[in-house]
Amino acid sequence: MSATTSTTMFPKTRKLAWLMHLFLIGYSLLILLPLTWVVMGALKTNREMFTDPIALPKDPNWGTFITAWDDGVRDYFFNSVIVSGFSVALIVVISAMAAYALTRLNFPFRRGLYLIIILCFAIPMHAVLVPIYVLLSDFGLLNTHAGLILPYAAFGLPFSIILMYSFFYEFPTELEEAAKLDGCGPWRRLWHVVLPLSKPILVSVAIFNLVSIWNEFLLATIVMTSPEVQTLPLGLVRFRDQYATNWPGMLAAITIGSLPLLAAFVAFQKYFIRSMAGMGK
Amino acid sequence: MFSKGREPVSALLLLFPMLVLLGGFIFLPLGQVFVWSLFQQEVFGGPQRFIGLANFAEMGSDRVFWQALVNNMIFAVLSIVLQVGMGLVLAALLDHGVRRFRVVYRTIIFAPIVVSTAAIGLLWGLMLDPNIGPITDWMSLFGVPMPRNGILGEPDLALVGTIFVGAWQYTGFMMVILLAGMQSIPEELYEAARMDGCKGIRAFINITLPSIRNVIVTCVLLTVIGAFKVFDLVYVLTNGGPGTATEVLASYIFRNAFEFSNIGYANAMSVVFLGIALIFGVIQHRMIRK
């Protein structure tokens, strides 16, 4: 965190500092204990789980992870990778194109179009489920990856465009003017001049959308009814309904499903925090 | 800024993919929700019968609809207290409270945000399970009795339990937004106040809180909008039950459309839902522009 906050504003008595740490440690444990319990539980046998749910596993049973992976989690995992990967790529490219046109080019109804995009941001997917289901059904897109990718891309666009719009808006135009004098059209100015200098906002937009799409549940429930195409959140719930008595297997599935984003978050937490804190602006 | 001429053509090409996606998946469905809310329909692809505003009239006397709406409101109010309240405390401690391990605390507290709500619902469903969940064991260590059906099995406690699980996941999100706001307050403000003998809690009340007023309002709005959109958590933790005790708008719309063969009614409730979303959306937009 920044150096400007290094001075403490609360009285610097030892006792108070200890109390504040104690509070933060307590709250951190409240977060960490359930998460650790999941991993520990996955390593136990079902019998251990029932007789003593709190105890540590006596003989860690790593095989549970392999069984869960082979038992469907692999398919859910790759479905999630495909759906999230394509959706996020579409959102980043399309929102950059749109935001560029909205901030740099002159065309009729420009201001009105931006207001419409802001309006779209306020419309939740929850409120148009039935028509989206009918549309996907008419085009034969139910139970296909495209059936999730296209609506995810559409609903990811408004906020991404708003973020990029304000970034491009404050972005200096001198370089583009120079490129224009050299005969570069709007496309080349966007791809070769603006985008290479816009990495921070592109990363923010990508992370923000990745987190929400990787974890999306409601639309996926409706669109993906056959198990072969289901994404991780659905697969995990399906796992519960199927293996109601196999607790370690379920906990292993939860662990595998949550690990990729958790690992990415710990590795790149600066970018994650910046991306998510952007919601407050 | 740049000259005119071919620009509208380039603009149309650049905007085209966006126009297709927003048109197809947001505007077309939006219109259909309004039109279809005036019809009765039982199966997808089946016949539609025009019934005017009868679906909206049905809402008036539908006890479960009102219960869902009230549950959303309880969700909103309690979530504001828990998430924004606790988020403020945690952010203040990380901003001007402790000096060491701040990144460690922030990382841990924020971590649940990147886990899917479905997985968190499963995890807490197991934790709170009355037979084998560890919560019952932990509570008995402190001598706290737990209901026999578990917290989520009691009509009076299930909603509150669900709200707490939601707060467990999202408080870190609020903390990070509030912390970003606090860190943009110039240090000179605090120093000037310290000269006047204002520090500690008083500096927090007199400087920090007023400076991040807008950020706090944004957090409150985000929480309210989130509370009206809640679905995953309810679906996984309680599935609306026991009975209809934890039914919320999104889950009730979902149930009517895809379980009760009541598609027209689901669309009518979607119109109400849209109205609520737009009201908060407009307030949020006004705030952002300030």
The 10s digit of each residue's pLDDT in B239-272 is 998 999 999 999 999 999 999 999 999 999 999 9
pLDDT of residue A5: 43
Q: Is residue B241 within 8 Å of residue B64, measured between CB atoms? A: no
CB contact under 8 A, A254 and B119: yes
Query: What pLDDT band is residue B284 in, cutting at 50, 70 and 90?
Result: confident
The 10s digit of each residue's pLDDT in B49-67 is 999 999 999 999 999 999 9
**Residue B44 with chain A: CB contacts under 8 Å:** 133-134, 137
Q: What is the domain range of residue B216? A: 62-289
CB contact under 8 A, B25 and A150: yes
pLDDT of residue B2: 47
Q: Is residue A46 within 8 Å of residue A245, measured between CB atoms? A: yes
Cα-flanking dihedrals φ and ψ of residue B36, to 5°? -70, -15
Q: Considering chain B, what percentage of its residues have pLDDT values greater than 70?
A: 97
pLDDT of residue A12: 59
Residue B34 lies in a domain: no
The 10s digit of each residue's pLDDT in A216-258 is 999 999 999 999 999 999 999 988 888 777 888 889 999 999 9
> Distance (Å, rounded) from C-alpha A96 to C-alpha A171?
13
Residue B142 lies in a domain: yes
Range in A113-117, A183-187, B69-73 the model is least confident about: A183-187
Domain positions in chain A: 12-61, 72-280
Number of domains in chain B: 1
CB contact residues (below 8 A), chain B span 156-185, against chain A: 168, 172-173, 176-181, 183
pLDDT of residue A64 exceeding 50: yes
Element (H, E) at B258: helix B249-258
The 10s digit of each residue's pLDDT in A95-141 is 999 999 999 998 989 999 999 999 999 899 999 999 999 999 999 99
Q: What is the DSSP string of A95-115?
A: HHHHHHHHHH---TTHHHHHH
CB contact under 8 A, B12 and A276: no
Q: Show the tokens assigned to A213.
A: 């799409």
Residue B39 touches chain A, beta carbons under 8 Å: no
Cα–Cα distance list, B44 to A218, B16, B87, B140, B268 (Å): 18, 31, 44, 50, 16
**Residue A218 with chain B: CB contacts under 8 Å:** 231-232, 235, 250, 254
Pick the residue from chain A with its C-alpha nearest to B221: A280
| B180: closest CA of chain A, how far (Å) | 7
Query: What pLDDT band is residue B7 in, cutting at 50, 70 and 90?
Result: confident
Residue B36 lies in a domain: no
CB contact residues (below 8 A), chain A span 187-246, against chain B: 187, 190, 211, 214-215, 217-218, 221-222, 232-234, 236-237, 240
- At the fourth CATH level, the homologous superfamily of domain A72-280 is MetI-like (1.10.3720.10)
Residue B43 lies in a domain: no
pLDDT of residue A2 exceeding 60: no
Residue B190 lies in a domain: yes
Q: Is residue A224 within 8 Å of residue B108, measured between CB atoms? A: no
- Quote the DSSP letter at residue B97: I
Q: Average pLDDT of A27-43? A: 93
Residue B214 lies in a domain: yes
pLDDT of residue A4: 42
Cα-flanking dihedrals φ and ψ of residue A256, to 5°? -60, -40
Residue B49 lies in a domain: no
Option in B28, B134, B285 nearest A118 (CB): B285
Residue A151 touches chain B, beta carbons under 8 Å: yes
| B160: closest CA of chain A, how far (Å) | 18
Option in A27, A100, A116 nearest B90 (CB): A27
Q: What is the DSSP string of B30-96?
A: HHHHHHHTTEEESSTTS-EEE-TTHHHHHHHH-HHHHHHHHHHHHHHHHHIIIIIIHHHHHHHIIII
Q: Point out which residues pair with B49 in neighbouring strands.
A: B40
CATH number at residue B189: 1.10.3720.10
A152-191 b/e with 16+ CB inside 10 Å = b?
bbbbbbbbbbbbbbbbbeebebeebeebbeeebebeebbe
Residue B18 lies in a domain: no
Residue B237 touches chain A, beta carbons under 8 Å: no
